């Protein structure tokens, strides 16, 4: 059990850096196990698998969350993670833009505005 959690935390340290603690704090007084599930299931069981690297995985998650549409806060976190594991702002912009064809312009526009927020905080604007 311990191992599974630790394996997930190693990935989360790479993808989310110092922000991990926030997730756990958010769930602390209401559903601490939900935090543990996120570490143990997607991060420990999926993101550790070597067939696809973290850079590609996070870009696919950005694509997914852009299409899902209502997950702005999670999309923000994963755009940050996508940058941290080696995606350029340009690559992220391209994939969000591509989603206009599969989920429509509103999803792509909203995703782009969230990317803009992240890039602004990290002083990555304008994207060239």
Q: Which residues bind a second copy (CB under 8 A)?
A: 1, 4, 26-31, 33-34, 37-38, 41-42, 45-47, 49, 51-52, 56-57, 59-71, 73-74, 88, 90-91, 93-110, 112-113, 115-116, 119, 125-127
Q: Tell me how far, at minimum, the Cβ of 37 lies from a second copy, in Å.
A: 6
CB closer to a second copy out of 4 and 17: 4
CB 98 within 8 A of CB 91: no
What three-state secondary structure class fits 111?
helix
What three-state secondary structure class fits 124?
coil
Q: Tell me how far, at minimum, the Cβ of 128 lies from a second copy, in Å.
A: 9
Q: Tell me how far, at minimum, the Cβ of 76 lies from a second copy, in Å.
A: 11
CB closer to a second copy out of 83 and 93: 93
CB 78 within 8 A of CB 115: no
5 by Cβ neighbours in 10 Å (0-12 / 13-18 / 19+) ranks as middle
CB 13 within 8 A of CB 84: no
Side-chain half-sphere exposure of 47, counting CA atoms within 13 A: 31
Q: Tell me how far, at minimum, the Cβ of 72 lies from a second copy, in Å.
A: 8
CB closer to a second copy out of 10 and 74: 74
């Amino acid at each position: 059990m311990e191992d599974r959690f630790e394996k997930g935390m190693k990935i989360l340290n790479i993808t989310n850096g110092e922000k991990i603690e926030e997730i756990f704090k958010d769930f602390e007084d209401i559903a601490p196990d939900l935090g543990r599930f996120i570490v143990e299931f997607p991060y420990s069981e999926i993101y550790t698998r070597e067939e696809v690297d973290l850079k590609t995985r996070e870009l696919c998650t950005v694509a997914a969350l852009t299409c899902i549409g209502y997950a702005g806060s999670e999309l923000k976190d994963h755009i940050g993670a996508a940058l941290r594991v080696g995606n350029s702002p340009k690559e992220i912009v391209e994939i969000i833009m591509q989603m206009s064809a599969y989920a429509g312009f509103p999803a792509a526009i909203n995703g782009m505005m969230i990317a803009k927020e992240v890039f602004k905080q990290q002083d990555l604007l304008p994207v060239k």
